[in-house]
Amino acid sequence: MNSQSVDLIYLDPPFNSKRTYSAPIGTKAAGSSFKDMWTWEDVNEAYLDKLVSNYPMLVDFIKSIQQTHSKAMMAYVTYMTQRLIELHRILKDTGSLYLHCDPTASHYLKIVLDRIFGKDNFRNEIVWHYYNGSNSAHSRFGRKHDTIFFYSKVEKNSFFNWDISRIPYEEGSIYATGTTYGKKGYIKGNPKGKLMHDVWRIPSINNMAKERTGYPTQKPLALLYRIIKASSNEGDIVFDPFCGCATACVAAQQLGRHWIGIDIEEQAAPILVQRLSDDAGLFKNFIHRKDVPQRSDIAPEPINQTIKERLFAEQKGACNACAIELNIQNFEVDHIIPKSKGGGDYYENYQLLCGNCNRIKGNRPMEYLRIKIAQRDKLLKEQITFG
Ligand SMILES: C[S@@+](CC[C@H](N)C(=O)[O-])C[C@H]1O[C@@H](n2cnc3c(N)ncnc32)[C@H](O)[C@@H]1O
Ligand SMILES: [Zn+2]
């Protein structure tokens, strides 16, 4: 990605010691044990050079983590450092970064951020207090918060919408009731509420939540709305390099921002596509078979045998998704854009699918079906190779 190309970065990276051990720090180090990973020769050369020449103090600090904590933590912090350097590079001068983590590693990550972004560009340590859910701790207080570090790239240039997200005044506050008479005369609260503090009380996603996708570690949209509204404008680019089930992308889309999401987990892809279609209205105009705009200017052409034959000829007797070749009577005519999503009854919106593909697709966009097929093919290939 180009330097200075995105306006806002939100990242919610994993902290999973098993995976951290095998985190791919450099191509050659991938899969190696941690000790090997920390041999300089085993790590991506270009990245190491950059780290040693641009951040010598950081290298010393990272090395010290082996003594203060563990080798695993050192590996994790290295993994994060490499990515934070790149994230800093692609951020615009007016941009901001929000790093979502928890007390397991937050104290180490803050030092890394101080060095990469500059300690003067530290804006907030946001405490997300997810007060709901049970508390089973008996040897300590319940752990009910995550930490979100907010840094700007260049303090004096950074964009911050300080007035946008206000929250209600506390009950009993003199401002809560509107205009009241105080010692120094009339006091007037802002009707939109008070300016936000750095402690955010937002419930976590529970089993009943409407937005719940089932993806583990899914974050609430409410949290992302605050971040996106505060640190970006409509039309800006929001980037989430660990997007999971795309909470940040959905929030960005709903708020009229552009977005980029990356996730390494293949299982996240179909959830993401489904969610962006259902919650953010995307892929509604997605046409696979032919690149034509949606038509509302022509009379409906109900499905009939002639249409089926035209499609059969055009698709050369193959399913438009999985490419299986069947006799014409075994194909079903499908609306590429489902009727329930606004697709019409016209030739350009029809395709022939085999029964199997049509069942998988249901009234979802083609993107979903394609990913499902790719996953199935991969599984089949593995079974053939290893079975
Ligand atoms: C804590 S979850 C993010 C959840 C997300 N904020 C949401 O609301 O759904 C961390 C994500 O990072 C992904 N991940 C792990 N290693 C990665 C890597 N090297 N590159 C990209 N994504 C990665 C995981 O698959 C996981 O989905
Ligand atoms: Zn098919």
pLDDT in tens, 64-76: 998 998 877 888 8
334 φ, ψ to 5°?
-115, 145
CA dist., res. 112 & res. 65, Å (int): 12
Q: Tokens 């509204």 belong to which residue?
A: 229
For the segment 192-208, the average pLDDT, to the nearest whole number, is 88
Which of 272, 8, 22, 4 has the alpha carbon at shortest distance from 148? Answer: 8
* 322-342 pLDDT per residue, tens: 888 899 999 999 998 888 877
Overall average pLDDT of the 138-147 stretch: 91
User: What mean pLDDT do residues 249-261 have?
Assistant: 93
CA dist., res. 99 & res. 148, Å (int): 5
pLDDT in tens, 100-120: 999 989 999 999 999 999 999
- Quote the radius of gyration of the chain (alpha carbons, Å): 26
Question: Ligand 1: does its nearest atom lie under 6 Å from the Cβ of 268?
Answer: yes
Q: 134: pLDDT confidence band, cut at 50, 70 and 90?
A: confident
Asked whether 14 lines ligand 1 (CB < 6 A), one says yes
Model confidence pLDDT, tens digit, residues 217-228: 899 999 999 999
Confidence grade of residue 25 (pLDDT, cut at 50, 70, 90): very low
DSSP state of 330: G
- 285 vs 313: CA distance, rounded Å: 25
pLDDT for 92: 97
Question: Which residues have C-beta within 8 Å of that of residue 351, sequence separation ≥ 6?
Answer: 288, 289, 311, 315, 320, 333, 334, 336
Between 216 and 349, name the one with better pLDDT: 349
Domain spanning 6-163+196-280: which superfamily? Vaccinia Virus protein VP39 (3.40.50.150)
Mean pLDDT computed over 279-299: 56
Pairing of strands 91-101, 6-11: parallel
CATH topology of domain 305-386: DNA Binding (I), subunit A (1.10.30)
Report the separation in Å between the CA atom of 214 and the middle of ligand 1, taken as the mean of its atom positions. 14
Domain positions in the chain: 6-163+196-280, 164-195, 305-386
Judge if the beta carbon of residue 22 lies within 6 A of ligand 1. Answer: no
In this structure, are strands 237-240 and 6-11 parallel, antiparallel, or unpaired? parallel
Q: Residue 36: pLDDT band by 50, 70, 90 thresholds?
A: very low
Residue 43 scores a pLDDT above 70: no
Q: Which residues pair with 351 in a beta bridge?
A: 334
Residue 231 beta carbon below 6 angstroms from any ligand 1 atom: no
> What is the pLDDT, as a whole number, of residue 212?
85
Place of tokens 């995105």: 6
Query: CA-CA distance, 346 to 360, in Å (whole number)?
Result: 22
Nearest alpha carbon to residue 289 among 350, 342, 371: 350
Please indicate whether residue 230 or residue 40 has the higher confidence score (pLDDT): 230
Q: How far is the CA of 290 from the centre of ligand 1 (A)?
A: 34
pLDDT band at 283 (very low <50, low <70, confident <90, very high): low
CA 116 to chain centre: 23
Q: 192, 165 in Cβ contact below 8 A? A: no
* Rounded Cα gap, residues 265 and 184, in angstroms: 59
% of the chain with per-residue pLDDT over 90: 40
- Give me ligand 1 centre to Cα 242, in Å: 4
Strand partners, 185: 182
Query: Given this model, what pLDDT does residue 285 score?
Result: 45
Q: Is the Cβ atom of 348 under 6 angstroms away from ligand 1?
A: no
The values of phi and psi at residue 186, to 5°, are -75, 135
Token reading at 39? 């041999």
pLDDT at 254 over 70: yes
Q: What is the mean pLDDT of the chain?
A: 82
User: Does residue 147 carry a pLDDT above 60?
Assistant: yes
Q: Which residues surround ligand 2, an ion (CB under 5 A)?
A: 319, 321-322, 354, 357
